[in-house]
Amino acid sequence: MAETSCLFCKFATGEIQVELIAQNDGAVAFADINPQASIHLLIIPKQHFENVGELATSAADLQAVMQLARQAAELSKISDTGYRLVFNTGADAGQTVFHAHGHLLGGRSLQWPPG
């Protein structure tokens, strides 16, 4: 179910238009508004889950997100050079949008450990 006050639910349903890079039955991918790398996409389930831990309770939605991340990486031509898929979860990780989303980052050398 879509949460009425959730921005990413509105992106997923099309109530607010956002240019989709790719989608499948359960997930959509679009560019982050504040990119941290030359490729920075957000991969979100169409259904509302607060974070990736909640998303993990639904095998079909989790698989849709992970498969779309793989496809988006291929479309963005970062599968071979490498990429990072990050799910910030909760306060210590700095999560600011409480609809589960994977950050797909690539196109540059990424530091480890992250800050």
Q: Which residues are catalytic?
A: 101
The binder of 96, among Zn ion, ligand 5GP, none, by C-beta within 5 to 8 A per type, is ligand 5GP
Among 10, 88, 107, 110, binds ligand 5GP (CB under 6 A): 88
Q: Nearer to ligand 5GP by C-beta: 80 or 112?
A: 112
Cβ–Cβ < 8 Å for 5, 37: no
Task: List, in order, residues 6 or more apart from 87 with CB less than 8 Å away.
Answer: 51, 52, 100, 101, 102, 103
Q: By C-alpha distance, which of 40, 100, 25, 46 is closest to 72?
A: 40
How many residues of this chain interact with ligand 5GP, rule: CB under 6 A? Answer: 13
Summarize as ranges the residues that interact with ligand 5GP (CB under 6 A). Answer: 7, 18, 30-34, 42, 88, 94-97
